[in-house]
A and B are shown apart, each in its own frame.
Chain A
Amino acid sequence: GENVEQHPSTLSVQEGDSAVIKCTYSDSASNYFPWYKQELGKGPQLIIDIRSNVGEKKDQRIAVTLNKTAKHFSLHITETQPEDSAVYFCAAAQIYNQGGKLIFGQGTELSVKP
C-alpha cells in the first residue's frame, strides 16, 4: 500500500523567511496530493492541493510542487508570519479509487518566530 514520508518533523524560521516541507510517496498510482494545516486544539484544514497532471500550484504565499518521476512533492511558504505556526500534514490519495482514501505523512511542526 501507499506510504508517505514527511520531513522535517520540526521547522523553525524567522518571520519573513521561507519554509519548505517535503514529502515522498511510494505508490505511483497516487494522483492527488493535499496539504492540511492543523492549528493548536483544532482539526486539520485543507490549505492547498495538487493533482498529478500539474507540476506546480500557487495560492498567495503558499505553493506546492510535484515531481511525479521522483515521487515527491513539497509545500513552500514564503514571507512567513507568526500565524503560519502550526502542524502541517501532507497526504496522498487515488482520486477515483479506494474512496479517495488519504494516506498522511507524519506531520511537520512549523514555528515562526517574530
Chain B
Amino acid sequence: EAQVTQNPRYLITVTGKKLTVTCSQNMNHEYMSWYRQDPGLGLRQIYYSMNVEVTDKGDVPEGYKVSRKEKRNFPLILESPSPNQTSLYFCASSLRTSGHNEQFFGPGTRLTVL
C-alpha cells in the first residue's frame, strides 16, 4: 500500500531532551516536507527536501533540523525541544518538485514538550 508513515504517533517529552520523529514514504517521491499544525494557524511548513541531500527551510524552521540521506526517509530532529514546539506534526511527500503534484500526508505525530 502506498503510504507515508510517521513514528512515533504520540510523544511526551521534557524540555531539552533530543528527539527524532521519523518519516518514510514508499512511493519513490522526490519531494518531502514537514509541517506543524496549530489551532487557528493551519499547517505551516518547517523544512522541505527536493531530493536526496537537498533540504531547505520552510516558514518556521527555528529549533528543527532535518536530513535526507535516502530518498524514502526524511527525519525531523529536535535537538533541544521547548514547550513552544508542542504541536501536531505532519510529514508529506509528492512525486516531483514542480508541476501539479498532490501531496500525500502521513498520519501525524502529536508532540508534547513539558
Contact = CB atoms under 8 A, between A and B. Distances in A.
Interface residues of B, number: 29
A42 B106 CA distance: 8
Contacts of B45: 101-102
Contacts of B41: 106
B105 A44 contact: yes
Interface residues of A, number: 27
A104 B44 CA distance: 7
Contact of A49 (B4, B50, B100): B100
B108 A43 contact: yes
Interface of B: 4, 31, 35, 40-45, 48, 50, 56, 58-59, 90, 92, 94, 96-103, 105-108
16 contacts: A6-B42, A42-B107, A43-B92, A44-B90, A45-B105, A46-B103, A51-B100, A89-B43, A95-B98, A95-B99, A96-B98, A96-B99, A100-B31, A100-B97, A102-B103, A104-B44
Interface of A: 1, 4, 6, 9, 32, 34, 36, 41-46, 49, 51, 89, 95-97, 99-102, 104-107
